[in-house]
Structure 1
Amino acid sequence: MTDLPVDQVRTLLAVVDAGTFDAAAAALHLTPSAVSQRIKALEQRTGRVLLMRTKPVQLTESGQVVVRFARQLAQLERDAQTELGLTTAGEPTRLSIAVNADSLATWFLPAVLGVPGVCFELHREDEGHTTQLLREGLVMAAVTSTPDPVQGCSVRPLGSLRYLACAAPTLPVTSLAETPVILFDRHDQLQDRFVGGASPFRHYMPSSAAYLEAVVSGMGWGLIPVSHALPHFAAGTLVNLAPSRHMDVPLFWQQWKLDSPALAAAAAAIVSVATATLIQ
């Protein structure tokens, strides 16, 4: 990686972030031709095709490696500038993190609130797919259900998020496999795993708040995080359909192997809150 010209690496990152060569040229104050030449030179240097020239552009697997390096380089540069006092007074460090919606809606926000001086760019993605954002270099850390580390990343367990099978008291339930079900999106397999194949009558609600509201309103049954379910049990607006069962989803923290004070502080806060909140 030390043989890769920094200007070419940064140009690739600009193209990916902007989506097109023209937009990247405007951001870099270069001509589109100059941007194209830098990308071609970088591809010749690596001997790999790094970009698919679509709109927006798409990275190849080799391109993902270079972009991940580019973002790590940019973060190290920002950290060095901060330590040397070369940043504008009050300018925050930015961290991009992928996190699943239910973590975001339950325990994750209190963790990042405890990290001062950092601006967070959170990417919401299913816990089984957040590692893809790490591979693509779009984020520097992720809450994931995958224990196997992405190349160049470290991994540590956070604990398990517990779900209960819930429904409104007014919903007629004879068999979970035959009762209308609420799923978060088409990546959501929790309900199918819980019953070994849920009903084909499915509603998709890609928001934790909307998901809970749909279950409470009687549209179908669903798996609800314990912290969201218990107040509704007490209020009588939800019932536990399987009191002797639950679904635990193990979560892990994956992050770049990068000596970044801001990333280390965020990781420490997130692991601490997860340890205190999740099932250990």
Structure 2
Amino acid sequence: MAPTVPQLRTLLAVVESGSFTAAAQHLGVSQSSVSRTLRALEEDIGGVLLDRERANAPTALAGELLPHARAAVAALDALEGSVRARSGVPEGRVRLGAVPTVCQGLVPGLLTVWAARLPKVEVSLFEGDDDEIPEWLEMGIVDAAILVDPHPDPAGSVLVGADEYCAIVRRDHPLAGEKAIPLRELHEDGLLVSTGGCENEVRRIHAKAGLPFDMRQRVRELATLVTMVHEGLGVAIMPRLGEVMLPKSLLMVPLEPTLGRRLVLSGPTNRAWSPLAEALVGALRAG
């Protein structure tokens, strides 16, 4: 039997939330209903989709099904959004993807604007790294995304912000009071890098400075990076918007040389935009 839309929505809810309980809360049903729906889906397709012994991690079979499930649900959501849009009042849930520094430093202000101008639109935030966000947008995991330096800007997109990369040091660092820290001198303390975002840009800054890319430690999460700098294990480079993530013991100082980045809100390029994604962009264009 072909999977039903409720079955696909349930599978996606569990995969995205990581638990049956959270999926049930999101879908507004009981946990037992989630379990029954997934069991029926597994019976219909003839295989196990979630590894219950590994925190409901998707199986290989689920990996094959998920892209199609996301595309189908995204298309249906777009259709439902188009029907609602005929009333003239955007309504429903829209999924927005963004990198951690943007989630922390830019999105809260945007949510305030959208809440005022689109009161019936619920924005669900999906946080990922620089490489994940564009993929999520094209795969239908999110309906809209704030892209970092897209080339070129997608048609219909809007610029929502810009910042530059800075050095992160402890407040007791000898160079903390400088107007700018040369990249060469920053290396004397040992550079810490996060694979969860910004590593490609840090490499570009090194190329711009004519310096070899050399690091002391590589971690995934920006939060881990910040903690390591706080503990005096090295220094780091982050976008200016990430300043809100820093404890009082750390300081952002301009970096020389540096790079700027542009932040662009867009829908996908491989399919029609959700009307709610269009509404997010339109609300910001309205000033």
Which residue of structure 2 aligns with residue 16 of structure 1? 12
Provide the residue aligned with 2:41 in structure 1.
35
Q: Could you list the runs of 5+ residues in structure 1 that have no partner in the other structure? A: 41-50, 86-91, 274-280
Give 1:201-280 correspondences, 5 Å limit: 201-202=216-217, 204=219, 206-207=221-222, 215=229, 218-226=232-240, 238=251, 240=253, 242-243=255-256, 245-256=257-268, 257-258=271-272, 260-269=274-283
Q: What is the DSSP-based 3-state SS (H/G/I as helix, E as strand, rest coil) of the residue aligned with 1:114?
A: helix
Q: Residue 139 of structure 1: SS of its match in structure 2?
A: coil
One-letter code of the match for 1:181? L
Rounded Cα–Cα distance in structure 1 between residues aligned with 2:284 and 2:157: 11
Scaled by the length of structure 1, the TM-score of the pair is 0.63
Residue identity opposite 1:192 in structure 2 = R
Q: Quick check: 1:182–1:220 contact (8 Å CA) kept in 2? A: yes
Q: What is the deviation of 1:70?
A: 1.7
Equivalences for residues 1-280 of structure 1 within 5 A: 8-19=4-15, 26-27=33-34, 32=39, 34-36=40-42, 38-39=44-45, 53-55=49-51, 56-58=57-59, 59-60=62-63, 63-77=66-80, 80=83, 93-115=92-114, 116-145=119-148, 147=150, 156=157, 158=159, 160-168=162-170, 170-171=172-173, 175-189=185-199, 190-196=201-207, 197-202=212-217, 204=219, 206-207=221-222, 215=229, 218-226=232-240, 238=251, 240=253, 242-243=255-256, 245-256=257-268, 257-258=271-272, 260-269=274-283
Cα shift at 1:141: 1.3
CA contact (8 A) 1:112 1:266 kept: no
Q: Structure 1: which amino acid aligns with 2:96?
A: I
**Counterparts of 1:28 and 1:73, CA distance in 2:** 23
- For residues 142 and 26 of structure 1, the distance between their equivalents in structure 2, rounded to whole angstroms, comes to 31
- CA change 1:118–1:204 in 2 (3 A) is same
- CA displacement at 1:195 relative to structure 2: 2.5
What's the CA shift for 1:127? 2.3
Q: For residues 140 and 259 of structure 1, do their structure 2 counterparts lie closer, same or farther at Cα, with a shift above 3 Å needed? A: closer
Task: Answer yes or no: is the 8 Å Cα contact 1:143–1:254 preserved in 2.
Answer: yes
Quote how far apart the aligned CAs of 1:105 are: 1.9
Question: CA separation in 2, counterparts of 1:242 and 1:67?
Answer: 41
Please tell me the residue identity of whatever aligns with 1:206.
E
CA RMSD of aligned residues (A): 4.4
Measure, in 1, the Cα distance between the counterparts of 2:107 and 2:50: 35
Q: Deviations over 1:65-122 (max 9, x none)?
A: 442222330353256358669xxxxxx6211111011112222221121112222211
Relative distance call for 1:215 and 1:117 in structure 2 (3 A) is farther
Q: Scaled by the length of structure 2, what TM-score is found? A: 0.62
Q: Which residue of 2 aligns with 1:278?
A: none
Counterpart amino acid of 1:57?
P
Q: Percent identity?
A: 16
* Structure 2 residue identity aligned to 1:223: I
Residue identity in the other structure for 1:201: R
Do the aligned partners of residues 164 and 148 (structure 1) sit closer, same or farther apart at CA in structure 2, a change above 3 Å counting?
closer
Tell me the matched-pair count.
241
CA contact (8 A) 2:102 2:242 kept: no
